Structure 1
C-alpha cells in the first residue's frame, strides 16, 4: 500500500499491478459517463496501462472520439484514481506478447480477431486515498470506526505521472 501523504509514480504502478480488475470510465458523445470493468494486461514502470478491447462496443466508439479516461481501483481501505488518455496501438508483436488464456476466452477469433483492439492508457495524474497497513488493517480500522463512531485515520495525495 502506498503512503497516502507521499504518493509517487512507483506507488501508482504498484497499486495498478496488484489490481486484477479496474474500472475504466470514459464520456459518451452526450456527456454521460460509461464505466467498464477491465483487466490490465500490463502496467509499465512509466504507469502506462495496456488493455485489450472489443472495437465494436460503445466504449471503443466513445474512446475513438474522446480519449480522456479515468482508471479506478478500489479495495478495502485503498482507492486509486488515474486520469489519462487512450492511445490505440496497431502492433501485432505487442498483441502476441500480451495474449493469454483470459483474453482468448473473450476473443474467440484469436489474436487476429478483427474486433480485437489494443490500447494503452497514458496516465497524466493519480490520486490515492488510503488507510495505513494494508487490507486486513484497513478492514479492522473501518470496523472499529463503525463501532466507536470515530473517523478512520488515513489520508490522500496526488501525483503527476
Structure 2
C-alpha cells in the first residue's frame, strides 16, 4: 500500500460517515486493551465522535481512569479501514443527548432519552490512520489469488496515511 498524506479531516469524516458501528478501545486498570462494538451517534464539525452509554458502564470507568482511546471503523466491502486515536470524556448534557438520541437506543435504554443512567461519550480525535483501496473485495481477492498462483508476493493497492486533528 502506498503511503499517502493528502487526506484531510473532512476525508476521514466522509470515509466513516456510513459505518454505523465502531470498535471503541479503552485501557483497563491492568494496562490491557478492552474493545467493544459501539453505535456511532454522530461526528460533529470538529471531528468529535459521539456515543450513547450508561453512566455505570465499565467503559466509562475505564475512560475516567485513562482518557486515551482508539475508535476503529471497518468497511471490508469497500476495503476501507480507519482508526481514530484521541481522548474521551463523559458529557452529561440533556440537549446533546436529545441531539444524538436514536430510537434504536431504546433497546439499551428502555426509559428513552430521559433515562437517568443515559449519558454520552465524546471522543476528541488527535490523529487518524487509514487504509483505503479503490478495489472492491472481489477484485482484491482475484488479485491475491493470481499473486498466490504465480508464487509472488502480494503488493497491496490503495492508500495508507495519517491525518492530524
TM-score of the superposed pair, with normalisation by structure 2: 0.86
Tell me the residue number matched to 2:146: 147
Structure with higher Rg: it is 2
Tell me the residue number matched to 1:158: 162
Asked if structure 2 preserves the Cα contact closer than 8 Å seen for 1:7 and 1:128, the reply is: no
Number of matched residues?
156
Tell me the residue number matched to 2:102: 100
Separation of aligned partners in 2, 1:130 and 1:16: 11
SS of 1:31's equivalent in the other structure is: coil
TM-fit CA distance, 1:73: 0.9
Query: Pick from 90, 93, 96: which aligns with 2:92?
Result: 90
Separation of aligned partners in 2, 1:49 and 1:7: 18
Alignment of 1:5-154 (within 5 A): 5-76=5-76, 77-133=79-135, 137-149=136-148, 150-154=154-158
SS of 2:46's equivalent in the other structure is: coil
SS of 2:142's equivalent in the other structure is: helix
Gaps of 5+ in 2: 149-153
Asked if structure 2 preserves the Cα contact closer than 8 Å seen for 1:40 and 1:49, the reply is: yes
Gaps of 5+ in 1: none
CA RMSD of superposed structures (Å):
1.7
TM-score of the superposed pair, with normalisation by structure 1: 0.88
Deviates more, 1:66-75 or 1:112-121: 112-121
Separation of aligned partners in 2, 1:114 and 1:64: 19
Q: Spell out, residue by residue over 1:45-74, the C-alpha distance to the aligned partner (whole angstroms, 9 max, x if none).
A: 221111101222221111111111000011
SS of 2:11's equivalent in the other structure is: helix
CA 1:128/1:86 → structure 2, altered by over 3 Å: closer, same or farther? same
